[in-house]
Amino acid sequence: MSAVIETVDLTIAYDRHPAVHHVNGRFEAGSLTAVVGPNGGGKSTLVKTIVGLMAPASGQILRHGLAAAEIAYLPQQADLDRSFPISVFDTVLLGRWRRLGLFRGASAQDRAAVVGALATVGLTGFETRLIGTLSTGQFQRALFARLLVQDARVIVLDEPFNAVDSNTTSDLVALVTRWHQEGRTVIAVLHDIEQVRRHFPETLVLARELIAWGPTAAVLTPEALRRARGMAEAWSREAGVCSAAVAAAPLRRQA
């Protein structure tokens, strides 16, 4: 297998204070990887950098032959505004926006893809419902339907099963497994360690620095989890300034 995304001495900082620092590793094409670690350990920061929402302070994210349109990203629900009056159908259709552009209307094929995706996630009949009227689990199903119609090579999920009911979790885990079987690369930030052991062949353990990365059975050990818990749980302004981030700052300003 070949790497589709690679981190090279990756440091991510807020005001030069490291939130994630000096991470080296690779996500293989077609892999299914869980990212685990303590709260505030940099998991969401890492995946936001992978999808291009944050810039490294130093080091690199290499996306080997991967265009931006080939990465689908699902943020945490807490980061999403559900007050906007948009229907479930149109929410899912947004997954096609890179193909549609700003001015081209949805084709019959696009609309059929939305209908099919809603059927897959169990939301047939919800097309005209406003997203603000959905339960947490229903809304997450709609967001997974949006990922389906996006049809991306790489799918990045930030806490996709947080605060949803067990039936929804089971259905969405099955969908993630299907993506993996189709050869897509899936990266998911998760908290449920037993869920990781059951369904995710690869695991990255992160606690501001890389603790372990590799086959889940080999790296998700009591020792690795103990080390992760022993790290400071949150980024702090009191953390030392990263020398790599300081050295890179003048170069970024000149770029």
Q: Per DSSP, which regions of 125-200 are E strands?
A: 154-158, 185-189
Q: What is the mean pLDDT of the chain?
A: 89
Check residue 252 and give its pLDDT. Answer: 42
pTM of the model: 0.89
- In whole angstroms, what is the distance from residue 101 CA to residue 220 CA? 42
Check residue 239 and give its pLDDT. Answer: 54
Query: Is pLDDT of 244 > 60?
Result: no
Structure tokens at 204: 């990255």
- In whole angstroms, what is the distance from residue 198 CA to residue 174 CA? 12
- In whole angstroms, what is the distance from residue 133 CA to residue 44 CA? 27
- In whole angstroms, what is the distance from residue 50 CA to residue 124 CA? 33
Residues 61-113 pLDDT 10s: 999 989 888 999 999 987 888 889 999 999 999 999 876 665 567 889 999 99
Residues 16-56 pLDDT 10s: 778 899 999 999 999 999 999 999 899 999 999 999 999 99
Structure tokens at 41: 């350990």
Which residue ranges make up each domain of the chain? 1-66+194-255
Interaxial angle between packed helices 136-150 and 166-181, expressed in degrees from 0 to 180 and rounded to the nearest 10? 10
Q: What percent of the chain has pLDDT over 90?
A: 75
Q: Are 239 and 207 in contact (CB under 8 A)?
A: no
- In whole angstroms, what is the distance from residue 97 CA to residue 166 CA? 31
Q: Are 43 and 55 in contact (CB under 8 A)?
A: no
Angle, CA of 218, 224 and 229, to the nearest 5°: 150
Q: What is the average pLDDT across 200-216? A: 96
* CATH number of this structure's domain 1-66+194-255: 3.40.50.300
Check residue 106 and give its pLDDT. Answer: 83
Check residue 243 and give its pLDDT. Answer: 56
Nearest to 142 by CA among 202, 77, 79, 205: 77
Interaxial angle between packed helices 136-150 and 108-120, expressed in degrees from 0 to 180 and rounded to the nearest 10? 140
Largest CA distance in the chain: 55
Q: Are 193 and 220 in contact (CB under 8 A)?
A: yes
Q: Are 147 and 95 in contact (CB under 8 A)?
A: yes
Q: Are 201 and 31 in contact (CB under 8 A)?
A: yes
Helix, strand, coil abundance in the chain, percent, nearest 5: 40, 25, 35
Check residue 230 and give its pLDDT. Answer: 84
Distance between the two ends of the chain, CA-based, in angstroms?
34
β-strand 58-63 against 3-14: which pairing, if any? antiparallel
Query: Is pLDDT of 242 > 80?
Result: no
Check residue 25 and give its pLDDT. Answer: 97
Query: Is pLDDT of 254 > 50?
Result: no
